[in-house]
Amino acid sequence: MKKGIITMSLLAVLISGCGADEATEEDAVEETEDGVSETDEGTADSSESSLEDKEIEVETVATELDVPWDISYLDGTFYITERGGAIAQISTDGNVERMEVNTSSPIWAEGEGGLLGFVLGENFHESEDAFLYYTYEGDGGGIFNRVVKVNKDDGEWNEVDIIIDNIPGDGIHNGGRMAIGEDGYLYVTTGDANVVELSQDEESLAGKILRVSTDGEVPDDNPREDSYVYSSGHRNPQGLAWIGETLYSSEHGPVAHDEINIIKGGKNYGWPIIKGDEEANGMETPIVHSGEETWAPSGITNWQDTLIIAGLRGERVYWLDDEENELQVLFEGEGRIRDVFAQGESLYLITNNTDGRGNPSSEDDRLIKLTLE
């Protein structure tokens, strides 16, 4: 493992709410895969914050990960999904063991599809059950996503139950993040599957945040009877985290206008009707958005009651200054960041430089530990 200590100012990223047009951080590049020209990269303006300088110890825990997507951790072991279809089990000393994942349909690892979200079951110590979100090709050739229960057994993971099936999918905009709330329910982000109308379609699972029991049942107190849909009007939500009882989500916008939202059951977050500061009856505006700039926010985590956000095209780790409604830069210089995970006094992050849109080094992708002092 490699260690280093750097001293850096936390940079404030000032967010304006101006209008813009199509394509996003991720989509600007993602849509290149579908034959759309790539747009120029946008990076957020930054200026020195009034916060005092922080010394950050940077430690590389593991190297040569293959397009890692989601971080889970328990008792000294990291479980990191790799989009191609494996789970990397990593010890704190950096030993990596790739574990096969056996699913009922082959994992479709094209574009942004593949093995995405992962969360350990609440009784993992006893059951060794967890939950996965993956993309697959249906019998008729369509692309879908599903949420499944898996069990760890004899060095591999086996699908044992389908929790939610037939979530519309595509080469882009699959969502895929999952988290278990204090209520014991599983929350799941889904993208619009590159069909913007689906986000406002109450009968579609696309462009939504879903809420489901770990047995696949619709909770009795969901906003709509017999529906997994918890909130709607999302484009490509990529992160979920609670601070206290408040649920936050990060979301990719069109040509910038990336968002951080507070999620409430039954609310409509506006896509594709509104973006940024735009308003419409019955629709929510984000607590902060990137204006004309691009963060491509991905995974988020609660670190000491502060929301931490991974930035893909922004190539930074941000934190939410909720008093000023601004994102500030905590860390940068390692390329694209897919996910962040808080553990004690430390933050862990995974780079995503091998996903076809970054500039990978010989050691990418990496699991990195940050310790702020």
Helical ranges in the chain per DSSP H: 25-30, 124-127
Q: What is the pTM of this model?
A: 0.89
Using one digit for the tens of pLDDT, what is the confidence trace for 297-338? Answer: 999 999 999 999 999 999 999 999 988 889 999 999 999 999
Residues 6+ apart with CB under 8 A from 4: 57, 58, 59
Residues 6+ apart with CB under 8 A from 150: 101, 129, 130, 131, 132, 157, 158, 159, 160
Residue-averaged pLDDT of the chain:
89
Closest CA to 351 of 316, 304, 305: 316
Residue entry with tokens 């889970």:
72
- Which tokens sit at 193? 């599957």
Q: Please report, for residues 49, 93, 246, 286, 321, the alpha-carbon distance to residue 330 in angstroms, rounded to integers and kept in the order given.
A: 11, 25, 22, 21, 11
What SS3 class is residue 139? coil
* Cα separation, 191 vs 258, whole angstroms: 14
- Looking at residue 24, its amino acid is T
Say yes or no to pLDDT of 47 above 70.
no
Decide the pairing of beta strands 11-13 and 68-74.
unpaired
* Cα separation, 294 vs 67, whole angstroms: 21
Say yes or no to pLDDT of 343 above 60.
yes
Q: What is the length of the chain?
A: 373
CA angle 191, 67, 339 (to 5 degrees): 60
Residue entry with tokens 């110590």:
125
Residues 6+ apart with CB under 8 A from 80: 65, 68, 69, 70, 71, 72, 87, 88, 90, 118, 350, 367
What SS3 class is residue 127? helix
- Looking at residue 69, its amino acid is W
Q: How confident is the model at residue 238 (pLDDT cuts 50, 70, 90)?
A: very high
**pLDDT average, residue stretch 346-351:** 97
Least confident among 6-15, 186-195, 314-323, 361-370: 6-15
**Paired residues of 268 in beta bridges:** 232
Contact criterion met (CB below 8 Å) for 296 and 258: yes
Yes or no: is domain 2-372 CATH 2.120.10.30? yes
Using one digit for the tens of pLDDT, what is the confidence trace for 90-144? Answer: 999 999 999 999 999 999 999 999 999 999 999 999 999 999 999 999 999 999 9
Using one digit for the tens of pLDDT, what is the confidence trace for 52-93? Answer: 467 899 999 999 999 999 999 999 999 999 999 999 999 999
- Looking at residue 121, its amino acid is G
* Cα separation, 298 vs 93, whole angstroms: 26
Going across the sheet that includes 246-251, the strands are 237-243, 246-251, 259-263, 288-289
